[in-house]
Amino acid sequence: MNLLRLRYLLLMLLMLTAHLGWSQGTTTAAMNGVISDKTGMGLPGATVIAVHTPTNTQYVVPTNSDGRFNLQNMRVGAPTPLR
């Protein structure tokens, strides 16, 4: 009977703590926005460069026809200025 209780207790413990590992999956970041001129119109074909400051890693992407950009798979957790 004690073995059955121990198995039940271990199963319950596993079920109650399994969700703690799910939040550990995010290892990249993303950034998006619009590049516009003085009149507020989007600039198509502009080059956007984001630099991860600690590692000097550069992420480069062109803007679309509306001036929008979308950077994916960036490193997380540090200042990333745009050029």
- Measured over the CA atoms of residue 82, residue 48, residue 34 and residue 36, the dihedral's sign is positive
Tens of pLDDT, residue by residue over 14-64, are 888 777 766 666 678 899 999 999 999 999 999 999 998 888 889 999 999
Q: Which pLDDT score is estimated for 26?
A: 65
Q: Is the pTM for the entire model greater than 0.85?
A: no
Q: Is the pLDDT of residue 77 over 80?
A: no
CA angle 73, 33, 61 (to 5 degrees): 50
Classify strands 47-52 and 57-62 as parallel, antiparallel or unpaired.
antiparallel
What is the domain extent for residue 37?
Answer: 2-74
User: Domain tally for the chain?
Assistant: 1
The answer to whether 48 and 58 are in contact (CB under 8 A) is no
Q: How far is CA 50 from the centre of its chain?
A: 14
Residue 79 lies in a domain: no
Q: Which pLDDT score is estimated for 70?
A: 95
Residue 80 lies in a domain: no
Q: Which pLDDT score is estimated for 23?
A: 62
Q: Which pLDDT score is estimated for 24?
A: 62
